[in-house]
Amino acid sequence: MAGRRDDEIATASPLARHGRQRRRGAARTVASLLALTLAVGVVSAGSVAAFAFYRVTSTISKNAVSITQEGQKPPKVGAITGPVNLLLVGSDSGGGNSTYGDRGENLNDVTILVHISPVSHSVTALSIPRDLYGPQAACTRENGSKASAVSAVKFNEALSRGGLGCVAAAVTGLTGLQVDYAAKIEFDGVVAMSDAVGGVQVCLATKIDDPKSGLDLPAGESTIQGAQALAFLRTRHGLPDGSDLMRIGNQQVFMSALIRKIKSADTLTNPATLYNLATAAADNMQLSTELANSETMISIAVALKDIPADRISFVQYPSTPTYINNISVTIANKRDAKILTDAIAADQAVAAGQLGGAAVDSGTDSTATPAPTDAASAPASGAASGAPGDEVSTDPSNPVALPTSITGQSASQQTCSRGQTG
């Protein structure tokens, strides 16, 4: 099932138009590339020169949009003193760059909710699968009009329903967590960010050769940037089962390496690098109105910069692959997901139940059997895994051990990606 290609999906279903979008070879951007570096990069650029900071914040402010929904209290603008939920959205529109062709639909193929907690001195970056199938609430579009609620749709349709505000409403509806701030990134932002840091060193347990994404990397360590970094983040057919769930695990390998690179002294003390990071964000991102404020960004940067890598966790929302009307979707494992969202709501640090399917420990034998992924191990929707984490600890210094259906890793874990073995 996991190996079935999107272009083999029948087109009779209302979901089928997304099958057609896949046939056009839609590249996948990765909002998480900037998830934990946006605020740090923007505010650090201010230390390079006042005019540089003004240029960055002015560019960002011009494109800002409101995400506040009807009946919702707007988040605070200015200094941040408590926990923050920051939504990062990866658009597949191409941002108007003709290099990526005629994009057609504007989908949120990457959706990550980043919870920053000064209480537990931790960050949890929660990736929501693009094909997660379920209801989405009514929402206010960027133009102020209303989008009606829908009973069942792929999660990546939220952006096309009305912009960042509708994605935020969908995230809140799924997780019960209010989104305070949001940002959307385009393809070029991935390229610019990886170039700004001088590339990211990734490790491959087995080679990846994926003509669809254009990625061809040997086993071992490689430093990737620019278009090659984008190809690494969007590759799916180069991974063991070709699934989008496994792609998230592969992205977590990259994100962890990126965070380690960003937090290195060579990066954080280099004014040119910091300014390039900031301008990459400014030129390729759209922020919510409340986030596009210098004091807000500075406060978030302060909250982020001293959090150690082992307290930064990348996790995937648990779901089970299936088919509906011959369309590949995933169904939420709500019981296990509640353990995760309850921990986030309680400002607890978390520890993933196991590595993502495409990831292995850097010292792992590449011929060993891959760790089970959501596709293989997640229980059916509503079923508990019985793994540690059934009760959320009240001790903020003690990470909550999540069920094995919730895959991921910390930024301190040095992992390798596993390519196709056959």
b/e code 326-349 from CB counts within 10 Å (16+ = b)? ebbbbbbbebbbbbbbebbbbbbb
Q: What is the mean pLDDT of the chain?
A: 77
Task: Kindly report, residue by residue over 89-107, the tens digit of the pLDDT.
Answer: 987 655 544 565 555 668 8
Tokens 């494992």 label which residue? 333
Q: Give the pLDDT band of residue 55 (cuts 50, 70, 90).
A: low
Name the CATH topology of 20-417: Aminopeptidase (3.40.630)
The single-letter DSSP state of residue 177 is: P
Task: Kindly report, residue by residue over 221-278, the tens digit of the pLDDT.
Answer: 999 999 899 889 888 889 998 888 998 999 899 989 988 888 876 776 677 777 777 7
Task: Kindly report, residue by residue over 407-419, the tens digit of the pLDDT.
Answer: 999 999 999 999 8
Task: Kindly report, residue by residue over 294-307, the tens digit of the pLDDT.
Answer: 777 777 777 777 88
Range in 131-140, 180-189, 273-282, 331-340 the model is least confident about:
273-282
pLDDT at 337 over 90: yes
Task: Kindly report, residue by residue over 307-327, the tens digit of the pLDDT.
Answer: 899 999 999 999 999 999 999
> DSSP letter string over 261-287?
HHTSHHHHT-HHHHHHHHHHHHHHEEE
Helix axes 244-262, 226-234, angle to 10 degrees: 140
Distance CA 193, CA 357 (A): 26
Domain boundaries, the chain: 20-417
pLDDT at 398 over 90: no
Which range has highest mean pLDDT (35-49, 165-179, 270-284)?
165-179
Q: Using a pLDDT cut of 90, give the percent of the chain over it.
A: 43
| pTM of the predicted protein model | 0.80
CB atoms within 10 A of CB 218: 12
